[in-house]
C-alpha cells in the first residue's frame, strides 16, 4: 500500500473499516449539493468503502496524529493514456473545513502525480456556484480554463426533467507546479 504523507496528513488506499468516517460526511445533504448521487446510509458507505479498498483511484485522507479519515481525493488517469492527463476531485468532512487540510492533501497528490507518476497535466471540474471548491483549485495553482454551459445534471425535477448545471474546468501542467 502506498502512503503519501504531509506534515499533518496521511493519504492512503481506502480500507473497509473507513465506512464509519465516510458515513459522517456522505450522509450530509450539504456535502453532496454539487455531487452526483444522494445521501448514503451506513450500508451504502460499507459498500463504497469496500469497493474503494480495491480501487487505486480514491485516496483516503487521514489525520496523521489520530488516523481519522477526514475526506477523500479522486485521482485518475483519463483516456487516451498517452496524453498523461489526470483528473482530481475531492470531498471532505465539513467538521474539518477551514483548516487547510484539503489544500494540503491536494497539493501533495499533485506533487506525487507529477514527480512519481510522470503526469503531464491535471484537470479538475467544479460547479461555478461552489465557490469554496474553485477557490481551493486556485490555491493549489490551478488555472480556470473555461466554463461549459449546461454540461451535466445530477438531479432531475419532479417531472423527471434534467436540472442542467454549468461546469468550470481548471488545469495545471507539470512545469507550472514543478519547474
In angstroms, rounded to a whole number, what is the distance separating the alpha carbons of residues 91 and 128? 16
Per-residue confidence band for 177, with pLDDT thresholds at 50, 70 and 90: confident
Cα 38 to its chain centre, rounded Å, is 16
Least Cα distance to 122 among 109, 105, 139, 134 occurs for 109
Least Cα distance to 59 among 102, 97, 27 occurs for 102
Least Cα distance to 109 among 175, 34, 177 occurs for 177
pLDDT digits (tens, 9 = 90+) for 113-145: 999 999 999 999 999 999 999 999 999 999 999
| pLDDT value at residue 38 | 85
Helix (H/G/I), strand (E/B), else coil: 122:
strand
Residue 6 has pLDDT above 90, yes or no: yes
pTM beyond 0.85: yes
Per-residue confidence band for 89, with pLDDT thresholds at 50, 70 and 90: very high
| pLDDT value at residue 1 | 74
Rounded to the nearest integer, the mean pLDDT of the chain is: 95
Beta strands in 112-164 (DSSP E): 121-126, 143-152
Task: Report the range of poorest mean pLDDT among 34-38, 72-76, 110-114.
Answer: 34-38
| pLDDT value at residue 112 | 97
Least Cα distance to 50 among 25, 73, 26, 16 occurs for 16
| pLDDT value at residue 179 | 61
High-pLDDT (> 70) share of the chain, %: 99
pLDDT digits (tens, 9 = 90+) for 94-106: 999 999 999 999 9
Residue 174 phi, psi dihedral angles, 5° rounding: -50, -45
| pLDDT value at residue 145 | 97
In angstroms, rounded to a whole number, what is the distance separating the alpha carbons of residues 9 and 20? 19
Amino acid at each position: 500500500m502506498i502512503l503519501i504523507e504531509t506534515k499533518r496528513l496521511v493519504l492512503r488506499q481506502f480500507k473497509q473499516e473507513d465506512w464509519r468516517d465516510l458515513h459522517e460526511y456522505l450522509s450530509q445533504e450539504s456535502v453532496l449539493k454539487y455531487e452526483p448521487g444522494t445521501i448514503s446510509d451506513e450500508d451504502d458507505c460499507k459498500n463504497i468503502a469496500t469497493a474503494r479498498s480495491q480501487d487505486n483511484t480514491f485516496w483516503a485522507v487521514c489525520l496523521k496524529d489520530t488516523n481519522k479519515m477526514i475526506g477523500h481525493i479522486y485521482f485518475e488517469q483519463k483516456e487516451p493514456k498517452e496524453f498523461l492527463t489526470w483528473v482530481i476531485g475531492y470531498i471532505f468532512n465539513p467538521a474539518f473545513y477551514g483548516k487547510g487540510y484539503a489544500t494540503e492533501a491536494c497539493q501533495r497528490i499533485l506533487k506525487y502525480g507529477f514527480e512519481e507518476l510522470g503526469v503531464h497535466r491535471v484537470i479538475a471540474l467544479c460547479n461555478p456556484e461552489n465557490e469554496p471548491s474553485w477557490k481551493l483549485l486556485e490555491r493549489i495553482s490551478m488555472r480556470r480554463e473555461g466554463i461549459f454551459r449546461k454540461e451535466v445534471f445530477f438531479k432531475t425535477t419532479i417531472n423527471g426533467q434534467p436540472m442542467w448545471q454549468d461546469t468550470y474546468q481548471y488545469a495545471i501542467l507539470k512545469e507550472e507546479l514543478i519547474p
